[in-house]
Structure formats: C-alpha cells, structure tokens
Amino acid sequence: MASQRQIHVGDVPIGGGAPVAVQTMTKTETANLTATMSQIHRCAEAGADVIRVAVPRDEDAEALKTIVAQSPVPIIADIHFNHTLALKALENGAACVRLNPGNIGGPDKVAEVVALANRLGTPMRIGVNSGSLPRHLRELEYTNPVEALVTAATEFVELMERLDFTNFKVSMKSTSVPNTIASNRLLAERIPYPLHLGVTEAGTKWAGSLKSAVGLGTLLADGVGDTIRISLSTFHAEEEVKVAWEILKALKLRERGPVLIACPTCGRLQFDMDSVVAEIEQRLEAYADPIEVSVLGCAVNGIGEARHADFGITGAKDAGMIFSKGEPLKKVPTERLVDELFAEIDRYYAAGKTVVRDARQAAEAAQWLAENEDAEAMTPERLAALEDAASEASGGGEDVLAAAGVRLSEDVSPVQGRRFTRS
C-alpha cells in the first residue's frame, strides 16, 4: 500500500501516491564543487529527482550553500554522528536532511535538529541500518533481524512524533534482499509515513542491479515504497539512476525515454545482434519520448510478438527490415539497419509523430519478410505459445516440449556457437 502521508523534498512530492521518486548519492568529495556539481548535473540529466550528498565535515556543510543554489534538483544532506553538521546543513539550504537518530548523540541533539527543521519547514529522512541498530535491539537482531529493523524504525518514528515532527520519510537498509522485503512490508503496515527503499551495499553494477531489482521491484510491485536509491559500487552515480529508472519502467510505474525490447536470440540468429542492440540502446539515450523499439534476431517468426512496437528491426544475413506497429516499412542492407532505423525514427518525429510510409519500399519489405518467414519453425516464441496453450488446456501440467519431441541440450555453450561478428 502506498504511504498515506506525503512530504516535499524541495518541489518533489514523496509519498501519498506521488510518482516513485528516483534518487542517488554523489560519490565525490562534497566540498570539491567542480567534481560534485559535475556529477549532480550528470545524475539530473539521467533522471534523478533528488540527489544526496555526504556532509562529514564543516567544509562540506559550507559547500552546500553553493550546491543548493546551483543544483537543478533538490539536495539532501547526509549526516552521521554530528548534529552540528545537521544544523548547518539545514541553515545552508538543504532540502532534506538524512540522519540516523541512533547515532547523532542522544535525544536532546535529535530534538535540536528537529526544532530547526520544523522552523524551516524542511523534511528529514530518518534511517536505520542493519549494521548499526541500537544496543537494546542487538539480541533481537540475532533471533529476528526483520523485527529488530522494524522496531528500531518505529522507535525513531515515535521519537519524532513525541517531538511534534511528522515531516519525514523512513528508510531501513539491509544488505539482505529477503530482510529488505520483509521489513519494509511490515513497516508499511505499521506507519503512514513515506518509505525510502534501497538494498544497502548491493555490490557491483551487475550483481547490485539485480539484487536491487529483485528487492525493490518486489516491494514496488506490491505498492510499497515512495522513493528509491540503487546503491552500486561505481563512481558513476548516474548509473544508479539509470538502473532505478529501468526498474520503474519495467513495472510501468513511470515512463522515461524509449523502451528497448530485444529477442533473447537463438540458433536462428541471422546477424550480430549483440552489437546492434548495444548501439541502439546507446543511441536511444538521445530520445526523451517513451517509444518502444524492438530488435528481432531473425525473421522466421515474422514480426510476431513485436507487433505492438513503435519501431523495430529484424535481420537476415545480407538484408534486414524495418517495421512499425507490425507493418513492414523498408528493406535495407544489414550493415545499414541501425542507421536506417534511426532515420525512420527521426522522420517520424519530423512528421509530428506520424509514421512515414513509402508504398513501394513497404511492399519490397513485405515481400522480403514473406520469403524469410518460416511458419513451420519451432522458435522459442512458438514454443512459448505452445506451452501456454497446452498449459491452459491441461491446467498447467503437460510437458509440451516432450510432447513436441523437443530435447534441449545444456552441453554446448551458446556463446561458443555464435556465428556472427559485426565488423
């Protein structure tokens, strides 16, 4: 369930049914203004709604004045252990202050920060980490880490409410994906405040993205979570933003930029799709519209499941075809497929989002498609369709592959078997 309450970090609403906000954290020394502002701009361009900066020293708190003034998105100050820095961050214009009430020096100091935040109308993020739970919860952490996290968070929430402060969001971070899911589900039932989601120290770009997608995606699919941060071991914070967007786009929670769909390829692959997909993905970054672009590795299925795509390509050895919404547009030499695809996309925008069709070229492409289609081929797509149909007919129990006489071998690496390399 979405949080009942909403806060505003600068002009960005968080919680209460607002779109899930994307955030990241700069990895630069905050007081290094050139490096920090450059990273903030890259992250904002990649789609960060809000950006957090670490404030471990006085000079970082001082730098906030300039950063807040120059940043295109609201800035959150990340404070640990030192309530004086939290006070300075608030005075210097931070749009939100993140702190762990358990490590800031005691209830009096928390109250001092809260009083100033209340006076300025600035929200806070209060967060607990599985690695730094209050001492009295250490035993519970052993026996029930999820309950320990949730108890720590609710104790902080109660502390804020006793201080008459409700302008906050809450985070519970764990390196464990199951604990992240379980604790946030539980907390969402217990408190009405917005939740900041993240899997802490998720790891490298590959593993960390997957862990985050599983953990955060599960929660978001249930409607739990109001803002997300992907934590990756990379200096390039904008990569975290891109992963966050892919998760939101996959769940259709938000739209941003094109959606690229590509077949998984198989032994019918007719051209070097790996490099084609990589190039298309990179070139699509220049487009803001949520158009859908599909890449099929061969034409034996026809346009098949890519029928709904705004634009798509399918290739064979020497020639390929560009299509739009299930209709052939033109046949082109394989080496020109990508350039011609983007030429068609650009033509579409130049014509006011209208697909421009040349009847002669479309007919030539349709003929090429008819020659390359193979209605008998047992492709992955047709196998899936068969499985679906049989599963529906039998209530889900029938082994359709066996019924179709198909045996899959795991002995040979598909990478070894790849035949096509794009020159």
Binding residues (CB under 6 A) for ligand SF4: these are 263-266, 268-269, 296-298, 300-301, 379-381
Tracing tokens 């579409």 back to the chain, one arrives at 348
User: Which DSSP helix (H) or strand (E) runs through 196?
Assistant: strand 195-197
Nearest-approach distance from CB 397 to ligand SF4, in angstroms: 26
Nearest-approach distance from CB 306 to ligand SF4, in angstroms: 8
Nearest-approach distance from CB 262 to ligand SF4, in angstroms: 8
Using the minimum distance from each CB to ligand SF4, give the nearer residue, 67 or 296.
Answer: 296
Closest CB to ligand SF4 belongs to which residue?
Answer: 297
**Cβ neighbours of residue 326 closer than 8 Å, sequence gap 6 or more:** 303, 306, 307, 308
How far is the C-alpha of 397 from the C-alpha of 403, rounded, in Å?
12
Nearest-approach distance from CB 422 to ligand SF4, in angstroms: 15
Using the minimum distance from each CB to ligand SF4, give the nearer residue, 298 or 309.
Answer: 298
Nearest-approach distance from CB 413 to ligand SF4, in angstroms: 17
Nearest-approach distance from CB 404 to ligand SF4, in angstroms: 15
Nearest-approach distance from CB 320 to ligand SF4, in angstroms: 12
Nearest-approach distance from CB 417 to ligand SF4, in angstroms: 13
Using the minimum distance from each CB to ligand SF4, give the nearer residue, 27 or 268.
Answer: 268
Using the minimum distance from each CB to ligand SF4, give the nearer residue, 298 or 319.
Answer: 298
Using the minimum distance from each CB to ligand SF4, give the nearer residue, 131 or 414.
Answer: 414
Using the minimum distance from each CB to ligand SF4, give the nearer residue, 276 or 298.
Answer: 298
Using the minimum distance from each CB to ligand SF4, give the nearer residue, 20 or 273.
Answer: 273
Using the minimum distance from each CB to ligand SF4, give the nearer residue, 272 or 398.
Answer: 272
How far is the C-alpha of 117 from the C-alpha of 94, rounded, in Å?
10
